[in-house]
A and B are shown apart, each in its own frame.
Chain A
Amino acid sequence: MVIGKKNKLTVSMSLLLLAFTLTVSACSSNGGTNAGNNAGSNAGSNTGTTESGNNGNAETGTGKPLDLSMLIISFGNTPPEGNPIEKKVEELTNTEIDLTYVPYNEYAARQDVGLASGDFPDLIQVMPSGPQLYTSVQVKAIENGVFHDLTDYIKAPDFAEKYPNLGKIPQSLWDKVTFNGKIYAVPRNLEPETFAGTWLRKDLMEAKGLKTPETVEELGDTLIALSDPPKMYGLDLSAGASALESTSMKSIVAAFTGTGDWSVNADGEFVYSNFMPEYKGYLEWLKKLYDAKAIHPEFALGQKVASFPDGTAAGLVFRWHAYVPAEKPINKFADSVDPNAKGMLLKPLQGPKGPAVDTNAGFWTQTAMNAKMPKENIPRVLAFLDWMASGESLDLFLSGIEGVHYEEKDGAKVMNEQKMSEDGVGGDPWIMQTYRDSEFFINDFETRRGADPAALAELKETVADINAKYKEAAASGLGMPHYNLYAPTLLKEWDRLTKGLKDNRVKVVMGQMSMEEWDQYVASITSDETYKQILKELKEQYAAGGK
């Protein structure tokens, strides 16, 4: 090949330019090293040489205030900086807080950037996504050592004594957050491990004189009886195609399969719920509703065409506290809905393989500590988290400061709404660390939300029933045995493997795919080498004690 003179010049210039840019980026300073080097070396070198270690005692209290920066998910309405609540918290816990809010929609991207670059505040809210406890980015970050290992602190025998509020977190949750035998974060946004409930429009039930359904079959028939298209549909699936796999709808799935997403048999063999033959019972149930027009024909678009709070759907499977009538309910009907509209919570329905209850981790996000933070601070941070888990802290965030945001009159609190909205008071604490089991939510209705006493009594009964049924179901296969096992193929390949699953589910419900075709589809996945590899990994990890 003859290279002309001009071309030679071009090629050599390009090569020189390339070499230049490569050299510059390679030599570009110590700031640009990868997370591994950074976190690793810092974690090592910082333990000795820190000044914030000179606190008076291991917990909060005397000594220099602890500098804490945090990355938090925001759901809108972030309180202004330096507001009175922030100052009060700093005072009470001897800390200096620096908050960074990131809107929920972008949180995953921001978190991943932080974890991959090693650049994130002292405390980070680790948000889950995908089938297991940690995403692959998070697993990588853990392997790179960006988080402090908290196992020794948490498993210490005096943990519950030193940190009484954190000590309330049950062992089952700590087990679920254990990864490869270690605990890297404190569970946060705690909630009952079973939280789904089926709601029906009480007023419509009474108007039509319908009997309260007790089985999933009866629920189907009731929903069909309640629907009156196009004004009213039976079941609210307004989230669209993904509604069929929502945490709440999984309670109905559990009624058919008796399991959570993954289940393991006596031989240690795992299977995914959707691929079990029993799962077809769920699809058939939905199909029956769809054919009888109890489900909006275009539900899959997610356009909120039939929505329970908007008064266009008569039934909804959601959280069991969602529509409890109260002065300050969790959710309420839109203003344009009949003022007589009331929700009724059903006792857990019986299905062919068990009750319709869901199973959750019991926590949503976690608080992890940046390994760059000096190790001495860990006890102080745990103490801070313990304070955030206390009733005192919850009261402060929800009601504000006495005399400023509310006045105590005759034992009741009179809130100053204006000041509250100015200072951003009344939302969740930055770290929702309070241990919230079903009792907590019920009490919340009693004390803070002004629930109707009759409704409250009914709620207590129903929830007791739900919890009892959950215990029964958990003893016979309902659970999350896959959750914290280390299965890299699952994390990497699951989305690709189950690419068509969501759509095919909808197709079966809408009658565009026959059950035989669904069987073929399921067979194509279960015979796939990747799926078999996933099962193998899960089985090995589970047998090894997984945790």
Chain B
Amino acid sequence: MGMIRADRLYQLSVAFVLLLVGLAMIVPFFYILAVSFTDSSVYEPNKLILWPAEWSADAYKYILFGNGFNTALRSSLFVTLAGTPLALAISATFAYMVSKSYLPGRTAMLRLLVLTILFSPGLIPNYLVVRNLGLLESWWSLILPVVTNAWTVLVLKSFFQGIPQELEESAKIDGCNDMGIFMRIILPLSKAPLAAFTLFFAVAFWNTYFNAIIYINDSVKWPLQVYLQQIVLAANASRFIDSQALTQLQLGSTPPEETMKMAAVIAVMAPIVLVYPFLQKHFAQGVLIGSVKE
């Protein structure tokens, strides 16, 4: 009897602690959501708002129907939808190639790859390379320089190496060529890491901000993150910088910065959050990849 009660107590206390931790994770999101819908006249900074005192979609209206939201969205969609499959294709093929131990020059390639983890040339050489490739002012400057990276390739490589050789050999016996093996055997078995990396790449492309500012001057081509940053900046401008000489003459009324910032956060998060559940099952499995050496 004592054992069962102790056991139940244990279960309950664990559940309770986990509930608290879960709440600690969720409550900030509620806060953001609530503040984004709060009317500016009742918004008080530094107060915990879990339910808007007065509902108002003004912040969203300002963002979604503002000048340039649509073009910015279009840019982000192009970069994400074109970039992610390309990134996966390049990373997976490179990783598969490098996973074959009989490839000549393999070690050299791997060493160069690892070199990129250790050293980074910095902003200006990157800029010069992109410029010399003629990629400035194009969405491809946001895609190609980041289309793959060493970590992705190394993780995929070890996953491919974990696939039994026998499968490939038996496929070869059945008359399959290398491309066929890759497409028909390796890739279907790699759904887990591929789903994980799809998410990583998609989120990274969706979040493109800094590269857009550096490589693209034409504001029509700027992605969503830059557009949203502009909004949040505009809201911030008046009490902005008490540094050397900045006076902004401001006109017009905009919702106060906090509600707008929160609405901007939600607007940016929403697409990714909506996609997550569908990749959830692959994701959990994929994250463990590379953590256990077989």
Contact = CB atoms under 8 A, between A and B. Distances in A.
B252 A421 contact: yes
A246 B240 CA distance: 12
B120 interface: no
A112 B213 CA distance: 13
Interface of B: 40-46, 67-68, 104-105, 107-108, 111-112, 123-124, 127-128, 131-132, 210, 213-214, 217-220, 226, 229-240, 242-252, 256
Contacts of B42: 335-336
Contact of A105 (B43, B217, B233): B233
**Which of A307, A330, A398 is the most central at the interface, judged by chain B CB atoms within 10 Å of its CB?**
A330
Nearest to B41: A335
Given A80-B67, A336-B43, A363-B245, 19 more contacts: A74-B233, A75-B237, A75-B240, A76-B235, A76-B236, A106-B214, A110-B214, A112-B123, A117-B128, A119-B131, A189-B246, A247-B244, A307-B45, A319-B242, A330-B238, A330-B247, A360-B244, A428-B249, A444-B249
Contacts of B229: 76, 103, 105
Contacts of A364: 244-246
A250 to B, nearest CB: 10
Contact of A81 (B107, B219, B238, B240): B219
Interface in A402-449: 417, 420-422, 424, 426-428, 436, 441, 444
A10 B108 contact: yes
A23 interface: no
Interface string A71-103: 100111110110000000000000000001111
Interface in A194-246: 195, 239, 243, 246
Nearest to B45: A310
Contacts of A75: 233-234, 237, 240, 248
B230 A128 contact: no
Given A117-B131, A318-B242, A428-B249, A103 B233 contact: yes
Interface in A343-390: 360-364
A319 B246 CA distance: 10
Contact of B249 (A105, A106, A113, A330): A330
Contacts of A523: none
Nearest to B255: A335
A427 B40 CA distance: 23
A357 B117 CA distance: 51
A17 B108 contact: yes
A119 B124 CA distance: 11
24 contacts: A10-B107, A29-B132, A76-B234, A76-B235, A76-B236, A78-B230, A103-B226, A105-B233, A109-B123, A109-B213, A189-B245, A191-B245, A304-B46, A309-B239, A330-B249, A330-B250, A334-B43, A335-B43, A336-B41, A336-B43, A360-B244, A362-B245, A427-B251, A444-B249
Nearest to B136: A119
B248 A195 contact: no
A334 to B, nearest CB: 6
Contacts of A104: 233
What are the 10 closest A-B residue pairs judged by CB atoms, nearest first? A76-B234, A364-B245, A100-B217, A76-B233, A335-B41, A76-B230, A426-B251, A246-B242, A106-B213, A75-B237
A28 B123 contact: no
Interface of B is mostly: helix
B131 A31 contact: yes
Interface in A324-342: 328, 330-331, 334-336
A293 B104 CA distance: 72
Contacts of A247: 242-245
Contacts of A331: 238-239
A76 B232 contact: yes
A303 interface: yes
A56 to B, nearest CB: 30
A131 to B, nearest CB: 11
A359 to B, nearest CB: 11
Interface string A1-24: 000000000100110010000000
A230 to B, nearest CB: 10
Contact of A28 (B44, B132, B219, B250): B132
B210 A398 contact: no
A430 to B, nearest CB: 13
A169 interface: no
B245 A195 contact: yes
B126 to A, nearest CB: 9
Contacts of B217: 71, 100, 121
B244 A426 contact: no
B239 A80 contact: no
A335 B40 contact: yes
Nearest to B256: A334
Contacts of A254: none
A444 B249 CA distance: 10
**Which of B42, B213, B256 is the most central at the interface, judged by chain A CB atoms within 10 Å of its CB?**
B213
Nearest to A365: B245
Contact of A335 (B210, B214, B246, B256): B256
Contact of B112 (A17, A29, A106, A109): A17
**Which of A303, A427, A428 is the most central at the interface, judged by chain B CB atoms within 10 Å of its CB?**
A427
A191 B247 contact: yes
B123 A398 contact: no
A99 to B, nearest CB: 8
**Which of A71, A106, A318, A360 is the most central at the interface, judged by chain B CB atoms within 10 Å of its CB?**
A106
Contacts of B243: 246-247
B136 to A, nearest CB: 8
A444 B233 CA distance: 24
B245 A239 contact: no
A307 B239 CA distance: 11
Given A17-B112, A103-B233, A334-B256, A113 B214 contact: yes
Contacts of B44: 336
Contacts of B246: 189, 364
B46 A426 contact: no
A313 interface: no
Contacts of A248: 242
A328 B237 CA distance: 15
